[in-house]
Amino acid sequence: MSKLVVGVVANTHLLHGNHAVQVTGERNLRAVADVCDAMPLIVPGLPDVTDVAALLDVVDGILLTGARANVHPTYFDTEPHPAHEPYDEARDAVALNLSEACVARGVPLFGVCRGLQEMNVAFGGSLHPEIRDIPGRMNHRAPRLENGDIHPDPDVVFADRHEVRLSRNGVFARLLGCESIRVNSLHGQGILQPGKRVLIEGTAEDGTIEAIRIDAADAFALGVQWHAEYDPQCNPINRTLFEAFGDALAARHQARA
C-alpha cells in the first residue's frame, strides 16, 4: 500500500508583524507521522488557494488543528468584539467547508481544539468566546505566570488538568475502554450550543463540552477540545485516538484503491 496522506490545516500568521505565512505546530505533523504512519500535508487556510474538492481527491483524511485565533462569531450570528480577537476568517472559510465536505464524502476527519469548534459551527452550532465567563465554569486557558505570561515549561502547559466524563457506550468510551479520562486544557472559546448533527460524547466536570462526533458520518468524524496532538507518542489516551484515526485513513485509502 502506498503512503497514507493527511491534510493538516494551517493558520495565517504574521511573521515579524508584516510577513504573512501559513503555519502549523510541528506536533501536529509528528502525531500524524509517528502514530498514524501517514505523511502530513500542510493545507493552506486560504480559500482562494485551497480547492477543497481537489484536496479531498488526493488525501486520506483531514486534521483540523488547534490555533490561537477564534472562529469568527458572525458564523453563528454573534457580533465580533475586539476582546475576543484575533480571528482568522480565511482559515474559517476553508475549515468549515472541509468539515462539511469530509462528512459528505466519507473522508476521515479529526478536529483538535479549534478543530472541534469548527466542526460544531460547520453543522450549525454556536460557540462562547470565553468559557470561563459562564457561571460555574473553570478557567480552561493555559497556565500563566504571575506577570500574565504563559508558563514557559511545555510540560506544565500541557499537563492533564481536568477530568472528562465520556458517554457510556459512546464511540470514545468504546475506543478508550473507560468512561473517565484526564486531559490538558488550553482554550478560551468553547461550544455553547451543539450543531444539529453534533453528538456530545464527553464533558468536563464543569459541563464544558470536550468530545464530539458527527452523527451518521460514514467515516471517522470526531473532535476533542484538548490538545491530543501534544503527546500521542506516550499518552495512551491520545495515542488510541490517533491510532483510530490512522485505521480510518487506511480504510479510506484501501477503498479508494
The residue that leads in pLDDT, 167 or 150, is 167
Q: Residue ranges of the domains in the chain?
A: 4-256
Q: Using CB atoms within 10 A of its CB, is residue 3 exposed (0-12), middle (13-18) or buried (19+)?
A: exposed
CA distance 116 to 204: 15
Cell of 74: 458572525
Annotated active-site residue 26? The verdict is no
Residue 23 CB burial class (10 angstroms; 0-12, 13-18, ≥19): middle
Q: Report how far residue 104's alpha carbon sits from residue 106's, in angstroms, rounded to the nearest whole number.
A: 6
205 catalytic per annotation = no
Q: Is 19 a catalytic residue?
A: no
Give pLDDT tens digits for 90-108. Answer: 999 999 999 999 999 999 9
CA–CA separation, 109 vs 196, rounded Å? 17
pLDDT tens digits, one per residue of 234-252: 999 999 999 999 999 999 9
Average pLDDT, the chain: 94
Residues in the chain: 257
In this prediction, residue 1 carries a pLDDT of: 64
Report the interhelical angle of 89-105 vs 114-122 (nearest 10°): 70
Average pLDDT (180-202) is: 95
Position 245 scores a pLDDT of: 98
How much is the pLDDT for 122? 98
Q: Which H, E and C letters describe the chain, residue by residue?
A: CCCEEEEEECEEEEECCCEEEEECCHHHHHHHHHHCCEEEEEECCCCCCCCHHHHHHHCCEEEECCCCCECCHHHHCCCCCHHHCCECHHHHHHHHHHHHHHHHHCCCEEEECHHHHHHHHHCCCEEECCHHHCCCCCCCCCCECCCCCECCCHHHHCCCCEEEEECCCCHHHHHHCCCEEEECCCCCCEEEECCCCEEEEEEECCCCEEEEEECCCCCCEEEECCCCCCCCCCCHHHHHHHHHHHHHHHHHHHHHC
Catalytic option among 113, 128, 130, 201: 113
- The grid coordinates listed for 97 are 467547508
The pTM score is 0.95
Q: Does domain 4-256 have CATH number 3.40.50.880?
A: yes
pLDDT digits 0-9 by tens, 199-238: 999 999 999 999 999 999 999 999 999 999 999 999 999 9
Residues 65-73, mean pLDDT to the nearest whole number: 93
